């Protein structure tokens, strides 16, 4: 239980924000930021802990978003049921892509390529298929009631996305401590060695990908409830694949709070640029690309890793010799 205390602390601080802040602009910013953090948290599960870098997590975000939107618009299904179905569909998409890719032994460049291609195929299909609204997209009916997952105030949406994020943080923390998590990290560090030690690497990667896709799909479902609209460019667009991997990489891959920290940085940069230069298409993604390169060049372990390194250096400098001997050396 002690391991979950930092999460409880962070969530408590975030939950207190609406008590202080009443501005709709700020709350909207925070809702979107936490949603992106959730997308990144999903990517982090597979990419951060498992070392399998997906360049097409939009495939799962979009599948979640479209599933709930289609069920609601075309079949009149309740939004909460649609939400659960969206997560299930996202997980299924992750399992299918994962099973095919990992069974074929695709790694590194190949895995990145196949995930990117799957997202792109889905985007093209969604832009022509009638059930997804083709080029027009799907518009949800306005029905502001809690039982249809629509709220009048942004604060309510804020608490929903915060709760979803909190669940994903707890899952990540539990994963870190579980046997499965250790196997997953072993796969990341050296897949052949893990296999030689008897880890079923296929099953481990498949499990991680399914979980990862489910979390990212939950963010996609939330997007639909919040904006009440989805089209192929939003659901399966490059932007979401980029933000999915950018947030944990900036914050710190394979850490519990990396994606949340990264999302705060990424979204602040994007909004800041809009304030300075106006809302010009391409501007935010241009900055994201530059930041991605800079972070990998100068802080490959992300903000969390860099802070930990600096902390370690300072501690070593001030520590007396006998106290330092007991410390494990961190690479």
Partner 1 sequence: MLSPLILITAVLNGLMIGAVYALVALGLTLIYGVLHIINFAHGALMSAALFAAFFAYQKLGLDPYLATFLIAPAFFALGYALQRFVIGPASHGDDRNMLLVTLGLAVLIENALLYAFHADTRTVDLPYAFRSIDLGFTFLALPRVVSFAAVFVVALLLWAIMALTDTGKAIRAVASEKLGAELAGIDVAHIYAVTFGLGTACVAIAACLLVPTYYVTPRAGEAFVLVAFTIVVLGGMGSVPGALIGGLLIGIVESLAGFFLGESLGQVGIFLIFIVVLLVRPRGLFGASA
Range in contact with partner 1 (rule: CB under 8 A) among 6-14, 81-89, 281-289, 305-313:
281-289
Residue 222 found at the interface with partner 1 (CB under 8 A): no
Alpha-carbon span 151 to 320, nearest angstrom = 57
Residue 65 found at the interface with partner 1 (CB under 8 A): no
Q: What is the closest distance, in whole angstroms, from the C-beta atom of residue 121 to partner 1 in the complex?
A: 5
Scan residues 109-128 and list those touching partner 1 (CB under 8 A).
Answer: 109-110, 112-114, 116-118, 120-121, 124-125, 128
Residue 115 or 168: which CB sits closer to partner 1?
A: 115
* 212 contacts 89 by C-beta, under 8 angstroms: no
* 272 contacts 284 by C-beta, under 8 angstroms: no
Residue 55 or 149: which CB sits closer to partner 1?
A: 55
Closest CA to 112 of 245, 219, 253, 254: 245
Residue 293 found at the interface with partner 1 (CB under 8 A): yes
Cβ neighbours, 10 Å, residue 220: 33
Size of the site for partner 1 (CB under 8 A): 41
The Cα angle at residue 161 between residues 123 and 19, in degrees rounded to 5? 145
Structure tokens at 119: 């997202």
Scan residues 130-169 and list those touching partner 1 (CB under 8 A).
Answer: none
Scan residues 227-246 and list those touching partner 1 (CB under 8 A).
Answer: 238, 242, 245
Closest CA to 236 of 74, 116, 130: 116
Q: Which residues contact 96 (CB under 8 A, 6 or more apart)?
A: none
Residue 51 found at the interface with partner 1 (CB under 8 A): yes
Alpha-carbon span 307 to 291, nearest angstrom = 18
Residue 293 or 314: which CB sits closer to partner 1?
A: 293
Residues that bind partner 1 (CB under 8 A): 51, 53, 55, 100-101, 103-106, 108-110, 112-114, 116-118, 120-121, 124-125, 128, 238, 242, 245, 249, 280-283, 285-286, 288-290, 292-293, 296-297, 300
């Amino acid at each position: 239980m002690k391991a979950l205390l930092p999460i409880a602390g962070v969530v408590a601080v975030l939950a207190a924000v609406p008590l202080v802040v009443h501005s709709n602009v700020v709350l909207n910013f925070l809702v979107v930021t936490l949603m992106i953090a959730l997308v990144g948290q999903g990517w982090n599960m597979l990419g951060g802990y498992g070392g399998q870098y997906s360049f097409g997590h939009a495939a799962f975000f979009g599948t979640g978003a479209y599933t709930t939107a289609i069920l609601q618009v075309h079949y009149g299904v309740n939004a909460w049921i649609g939400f659960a179905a969206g997560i299930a569909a996202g997980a299924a998409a992750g399992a299918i892509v994962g099973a095919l890719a990992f069974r074929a032994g695709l790694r590194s460049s190949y895995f990145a390529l196949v995930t990117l291609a799957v997202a792109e195929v889905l985007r093209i299909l969604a832009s022509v298929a009638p059930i997804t609204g083709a080029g027009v997209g799907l518009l949800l009916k306005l029905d502001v009631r809690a039982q249809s997952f629509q709220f009048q105030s942004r604060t309510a949406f804020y608490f929903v996305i915060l709760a979803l994020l909190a669940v994903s943080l707890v899952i990540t923390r539990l994963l870190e401590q579980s046997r499965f998590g250790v196997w997953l990290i072993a796969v990341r560090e050296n897949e052949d060695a893990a296999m030689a030690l008897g880890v079923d690497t296929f099953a481990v990667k498949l499990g991680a990908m399914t979980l990862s896709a489910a979390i990212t799909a939950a963010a996609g479902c939330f997007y639909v409830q919040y904006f009440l609209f989805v089209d192929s460019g939003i659901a399966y667009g490059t932007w979401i694949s980029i933000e999915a991997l950018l947030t944990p990489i900036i914050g710190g891959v394979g850490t519990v709070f990396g994606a949340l920290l990264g999302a705060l940085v990424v979204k602040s940069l994007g909004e800041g640029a809009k304030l300075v230069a106006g809302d010009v298409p391409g501007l935010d993604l241009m900055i994201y690309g530059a930041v991605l390169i800079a972070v990998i060049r100068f802080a490959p372990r992300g903000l969390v890793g860099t802070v930990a390194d600096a902390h370690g250096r300072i501690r070593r400098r001030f520590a007396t010799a006998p106290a330092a001997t007991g410390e494990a050396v961190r690479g």
